[in-house]
Amino acid sequence: MIPLADAADGARYGGKARGLALALRAGLPVPSGVALSPEDAAAVATRGLDDGEIRALAQLGVVAVRSSAIGEDGAAASFAGLHATVLGCATPDAVREAVRRVLASAHTKAALAYRAKLGLTDPPRMAVVVQRLVDAEISAIVFSRDPVTREDHLVVEATWGLGEALVQGLVNPDRFLLSRAGAPRSVSLGDKDLEIVRDGAALVEREVDAARRGARTLGDAALLEVARVVPAAEALVGGPVDLELAWRGGALSVLQARAITR
């Protein structure tokens, strides 16, 4: 287990860890965390965390355990949502269980079907990232190139609570098209009728009250902030970027930065 900032070796710690490590080094606001190689992760899954690991994790508080697959970056595929992310782990046992789930997610029927479609025949190798969980009040996904029209503007979708609701498509989010300088070209407010939030160690899906459902999530200042993060993130991945962002108390965190597949 090593600090996330040192996990830029993608062959050992996977694509997600690499992206986050580089982002940390570039000064982007990435929540602190650690990375586990597939071997570290297998050890944690079988024997549990050792004392050093428990101490390291205690520094982070409640954490998110995320998959970081190795050797699939070149596949130009998103693995959108296939590999598990376990949010809200508060104890060493919970982390161990989450690592098991993340490792197992590489072998689900859906993941194997997707690998077959991509022609990936080698057994999947999965590293793991453990990060401080950001209890997001607002979450957003940003594409720095329009994935449909391929136009050169930023597409931002945002909702209340944790980003899982966006990624899984559980809400109709707010949608912003921004010039690269961050000026809104279009704003379309969604109907964010539910949000995912953390309640202790559990994530709960709860109804959003009437006043907030249709209210705008990101103001012009937050959108400008998004536009400022994009060039730095693009420089890291070497092209158009797909970002996951979270805000708590007005402070922005970058949860993921990767090259756009589609």
Residues contributing to the site for other proteins (CB under 8 A): 74-78, 80-82, 108-111, 113-114, 117-120, 141, 143, 147-153, 155, 157, 166-173, 175, 177, 185-188, 190-191, 242, 261-262
Handedness of CA 227, 228, 229, 231 (dihedral sign): positive
The distance of closest approach from Cβ of residue 262 to other proteins in the complex, given in angstroms and rounded to an integer, is 4
Between 91 and 188, name the residue whose CB sits nearer to other proteins.
Answer: 188
Between 93 and 151, name the residue whose CB sits nearer to other proteins.
Answer: 151
Between 60 and 141, name the residue whose CB sits nearer to other proteins.
Answer: 141
Between 50 and 191, name the residue whose CB sits nearer to other proteins.
Answer: 191
The distance of closest approach from Cβ of residue 80 to other proteins in the complex, given in angstroms and rounded to an integer, is 4
Task: State the CB neighbour count (10 A cutoff) for residue 85.
Answer: 20
Between 61 and 81, name the residue whose CB sits nearer to other proteins.
Answer: 81
Ordered DSSP codes for 174-237: EEEEE-TTS-EEEEE--B--EEEEEETTEEEEEEPPHHHHTS-SS-HHHHHHHHHHHHHHHHHH
Helix (H, G, I), strand (E, B) or coil at 157: strand
The distance of closest approach from Cβ of residue 57 to other proteins in the complex, given in angstroms and rounded to an integer, is 27
Number of residues written out for the chain: 262
Planar angle of CA 210, 213, 219, nearest 5 degrees: 130
Q: Pairing relation of β-strands 33-36 and 2-3?
A: antiparallel
Return the C-alpha torsion angle 168, 170, 174, 177, nearest 10.
30
The distance of closest approach from Cβ of residue 106 to other proteins in the complex, given in angstroms and rounded to an integer, is 12
The distance of closest approach from Cβ of residue 175 to other proteins in the complex, given in angstroms and rounded to an integer, is 6
